[in-house]
Amino acid sequence: MNFTPTEDQLAVQRTAHEFAQNEVLPKAAEIDREHRHPAELVKRMAELGFLGIAVPDQYGGAGLDNVSYALAMEEISRACASTGVIMSVNNSLVCDPIYRFGTEQQKQEWLAPLASGKLLGCFALSEPEAGSDAAAQKTVAEKQSDGSWVINGTKNWITNGPVADACVLFTMNDKSLGHKGITAFILPMKTKGVRTGPPDDKLGIRGSKSSQIYLDEVRLPADAVLGEVGGGFRVAMSTLDGGRIGIAAQALGIARAALEDALAYAQQRRTMGKPIIQHQAISFKLADMATEIDAARLLIHRAAWLKDNKLPYGKEAAMAKLFASDVANRAAREAIQIFGGNGYVTEFPVERHFRDAKITEIYEGTSEIQRLVIAGYLAKGG
């Protein structure tokens, strides 16, 4: 396994870095403060090919790989975690399952505009009583005599929900079959009977709009099924395996932001006649942060490389997400400590990193679920 980026991957990283530094970072504090969906940045990401990085160009994507995706996610999330997760959802949770499970008609109708950024997608699996227990779906899809489906239910915490054009939706079509009774659909968000609740008022990633989605007698045609009837759980779990690479890269970007901001501050702030970086208590914190960030990056790139090479990567993606999210939270906490009182006020960015980091331990599988996934592979000898 060679971790030296290719020229194409380096080009993606450079483009993402320039975009993040010049266009995203100057707006990050305002986006957070105003809870504002950064529509202009989403449009720019579409122009740069960042909303369908690993989708073949025949379907509107950039035709690159998952290592490139991880590199771009890190750069953009380093500048603004809210912008990063909008990109992650569209790539990992919407384009990826439609590319892997969709029919040719679905790819032409939905994947091409989603990957090119003409449309924005969301992924609706979680419910008020179905978070980590994804098989406990209560949203019901009932098949009609003409082959169409009628869907009723509620989805929770749906990232991009209030601003999405299309949704990868999971429903229970046969409760007696348990997880084998779950079916996935591609749902146009303007379908009659679809309604979104008010945007969630969140601790962090406040520029990323999320909400409940209400489905009241929503009728979808037979060709809206994604994959096979009863195959929705497989679609969901395999999609989340890939999604964890994106969220791990988001966590890495947040951790890097915490380190870089803390390092710059420690070189300028003086106590006892010298910059605080010259105090061992501070320098050791920075050294630990840098070491853990590098380790997280290697785990992420390994998982992305395995996916690109069509090798099993579920355990490795779970490890990457588990470790990177832990690193992000620890780095953000230590950054506040290095800033001292200044770290606790909104004038400085580290309090935002602290708030943004927490969600990476929760969505697309909590840290506890990641440990269950990893332990499951170990129990099977994997």
Contacts of 109 (CB under 8 A, 6+ apart): none
Return the pLDDT at 1. 64
CA distance 270 to 278: 9
Q: Are 256 and 356 in the same domain?
A: yes
CA distance 360 to 88: 12
Average pLDDT over residues 58-72: 97
Q: Are 239 and 358 in the same domain?
A: yes
* Domain finish residue from 173, 201, 230: 230
Domain range for 61: 7-115
CA distance 315 to 215: 34
Average pLDDT over residues 371-378: 97
Query: Quick one: what percent of the chain has pLDDT higher than 90?
Result: 96
Return the pLDDT at 334. 98
In a domain, 2, yes or no: no
pLDDT over threshold 80, residue 3:
no
364 a catalytic residue? yes
Catalytic residue (one of 75, 316, 364, 368): 364
Number of domains in the chain: 3
Q: Are 145 and 265 in the same domain?
A: no
By C-alpha distance, which of 95, 215, 208 is closest to 155? 215
Q: Are 194 and 279 in the same domain?
A: no
Return the pLDDT at 132. 83
Contacts of 181 (CB under 8 A, 6+ apart): 172, 173, 174, 175, 230
pTM: 0.97
Contacts of 92 (CB under 8 A, 6+ apart): 239, 242, 243, 245, 246, 247
Count how many residues are written for the chain.
382
Average pLDDT over residues 11-30: 98
* Domain finish residue from 115, 142, 169: 115
In order of 1, 6, 75, 85, 328, the CA distances from 10 in angstroms are 17, 6, 12, 21, 24
Q: Are 131 and 206 in the same domain?
A: yes
Question: pLDDT tens digits, residue range 184-213?
Answer: 999 999 999 999 999 999 999 999 999 999
In a domain, 1, yes or no: no
